[in-house]
Structure 1
């Protein structure tokens, strides 16, 4: 015979309660009835301002999340949570962490990000079991001098604070794998940072570093290094010691060169060195056999090393806004190249060997001084070829021509030869972008030979009569820019509407005369 269990005794053993996004302004009283069994309490994204004392009688809690609320203070009773393993108080209005936090001996994961904290309590370093600590964007001015006592830390996030220096004891965190110090006020790093023997990911971007200690290059486990947006003038010659490195980000610094030892980084997959003052790449770059992405935008590079053709896995190569005058023919050796951008350089020709990069889909050569393109490019399956920043389509129609100097077959179109730009961008204006070509205008720095070559496409000057038989060549007018076509269409429609209106008035008048008769 079955007996009915009273309703008040149902669900007595509850281990997890999820009250996230419930617009709560206070902690529901119903939670406290499960004090003997409750292990996880999720109260994120509500409107809580105070934490009531009964909450800290939930002694079995192992996980408590209170992120995205309006909590002003943490009561000292938080020390009651002797079994608490995960605590999330991120994005509240908490100004202080009580010293009693040290009694949470089991705490492993803690997140205090996005609070107006300025310091950590001295007792914080007694949390010996802590493995992951996030204190991002809290106006933290300094770390505890004895932070090295947190010997089990695996991940330490301190992004977007106002840290100006790091304590020496940081080097004692031998289990640390992730260290994020991005967007702080660091001007230097202690040499002891090289003692972080387990470090895999290191963010130092957005600081004021002028140099990186050579000792950092002793970390054989390091996979990811971001030192972008600093004031670095050089990288240590010992850079090649980072034998496991896969990602190196040095963008927006004052670097003038990449050290030769970069060639020892055989596992390097991504190198971003844009917005520096780099004048050349070392020949050893060709030894970085795993490189898939190389970004060199906005530097002072005049020539790429021939060894770049050894980068068989290179997929994305961006050299926009440099001072390249030529490309090595070995560039065709980059068989895996998908995207190749050399916008706004001083290139006068593209090597025919580029066609050997059979995977190339996007080629941007706008803003250069090209007179033609090599015929071999027709063998590529390009999806986009940019000759001008004002192109309306990613691909244009080309036709064969002949280079008057070499006699070789080349490709030409309405946008070739390119006009050099005075402002760092293409000289083809949005409206009337082809006017300079139509009128045969040339820049003074160009050789007359380049502009006087015989093209199989001839553009008519204003007032010139059609005379196909005399010229014996294809004769066509410049194609209007899409913006001009829209204007022409509107004008035509206006004229047509006006004519239709006049026609209707005439017909109405005629009907009126007929009716009166």
Structure 2
């Protein structure tokens, strides 16, 4: 449990103030005295409705967090916080991010999630060249900045639960991007040259309107987790087999009729394959080459038989084939020590 302590007698050299979970309705005046020394101000989970001007005069701040409040407005004076490295304003009632945020050139982590942003991101956002984590989940975002590729240090980009339909071409120009979460939007097509994202380890595309995956997705040699569940896919490109680092592959709730035989090329790393609620009529023999598999979910398809090569999957601990049209399981499956 967090506790609040009175600070009038604290040293004027105070560097951090933690006022999280303190039921504050206003920012205490005492906090605003530390203009020369305060580097961290944590105001999360209170009942604040605004930030006093004095907060924007704390020019030594490196970390400012006020998530889970009722704040409606960020002043353009935010641009005075030139040393700021982390800003978390998530889960408030903020309608607009001021363009003056462009002056926060030291900013590395920005989280604006869970705010009712009336407009798209300010143009100034692309000047934050030190950003390595940008989190914009559930902000009614209709588009990303065309020049988002300018954020060359970005490692994590989260824009889940928005209104994105088209992605800018420059998205694939983020050389350090490791995690990209585009889930729960209305995206119909991925930009060309997705294979350029050579650092990508996690790609979340679930709950969109995708009809196909680009062939060059196979160039993502470091990709470990790929979630394309709840889309409109009817097939997978053969290049899926080139994802040599893939461990988790989620394909649930699409319209896929068969897996490409190249799935067998994922034999060394693939641990989890979920392809439930699709239109599979047959499972390719090459699935038996995925020797590292521990979980294979085939629920709610139209399978009438399973290949005997499944018997090769000695590491399987969970095989689910419920709600198919199977009349029997191969002997090779019965001898596996699994939950089926």
TM-score range, shorter chain: over 0.9
- Per the alignment, residue 421 of structure 1 pairs with none
The whole-number CA distance in structure 1 between the counterparts of 2:318 and 2:80 is 55
Corresponding residue number in structure 2 for 1:290: 292
What is the alpha-carbon root mean square deviation over aligned residues? 1.2
Quote the offset at 1:330 in angstroms. Answer: 1.1
| Aligned counterparts, 1:137-148, within 5 A | 137-148=138-149
Higher relative contact order at CA 8 Å, sep ≥6: structure 1 or structure 2? 2
Report the more deviating stretch, 295-304 or 13-22.
Answer: 13-22
**Structure 1 regions of 5+ residues with no counterpart?**
1-6, 341-517
Tell me what 1:114 maps to.
Answer: 114
Partners of 2:91 and 2:25 lie apart in 1 by 16
Gapped regions of structure 2 (runs ≥ 5):
1-6
Q: CA deviation at 1:10?
A: 4.8
Alignment partner for residue 278 of structure 1, among 280, 284, 287?
Answer: 280
Which structure has the bigger radius of gyration? 1
Question: Which has more helix, going by share of residues?
Answer: 1
The correspondence of residues 181-220 of structure 1 with structure 2, limited to 5 A, is: 181-220=182-221
TM-score by length of 2: 0.96
Report the counterpart of residue 35 of structure 2 in structure 1. Answer: 35
Q: How far is 1:193 from its partner?
A: 1.4
Provide the rounded CA distance (Å) in 1 between the counterparts of 2:193 and 2:162: 22
Distance between the aligned counterparts of 1:10 and 1:151, measured in 2? Answer: 41
CA contact under 8 A between 1:310 and 1:333: conserved in structure 2?
no
Match of residue 69 from structure 2: 69
C-alpha separation in 2, matches of 1:97 and 1:47 = 20
Q: Distance in 1 between matches of 2:112 and 2:336?
A: 47
Distance (whole Å) between structure 2 residues aligned to residue 329 and residue 73 of structure 1: 66
Q: Tell me, in whole angstroms, the C-alpha distance in 1 between the residues paired with 2:194 and 2:71.
A: 36
CA contact (8 A) 1:240 1:264 kept: yes
CA distance in 1, matches of 2:56, 2:131: 21
Structure 1 Cα separation of the partners of residues 213 and 265 of structure 2: 18
Alignment partner of 1:191: what SS? coil
Alpha-carbon deviation of 1:9? 6.7
Q: How many residues align?
A: 332
Q: How far has the Cα of 1:24 moved from its partner? A: 1.2
Given that residues 191 and 216 in structure 1 are in contact (C-alpha distance below 8 angstroms), is that contact kept between their aligned partners in structure 2?
Answer: no
- Partner residue, 1:512: none
Question: C-alpha displacement at 1:12, in angstroms?
Answer: 2.0
2:177 aligned partner: 176
The whole-number CA distance in structure 1 between the counterparts of 2:62 and 2:48 is 20
Number of the residue aligned with 2:323: 321
Q: Deviations over 1:445-483 (max 9, x none)?
A: xxxxxxxxxxxxxxxxxxxxxxxxxxxxxxxxxxxxxxx
Cα distance in 2 for residues equivalent to 1:207 and 1:23: 39
- Please say if 1:155 is aligned against 2:156: yes
TM norm structure 1:
0.63
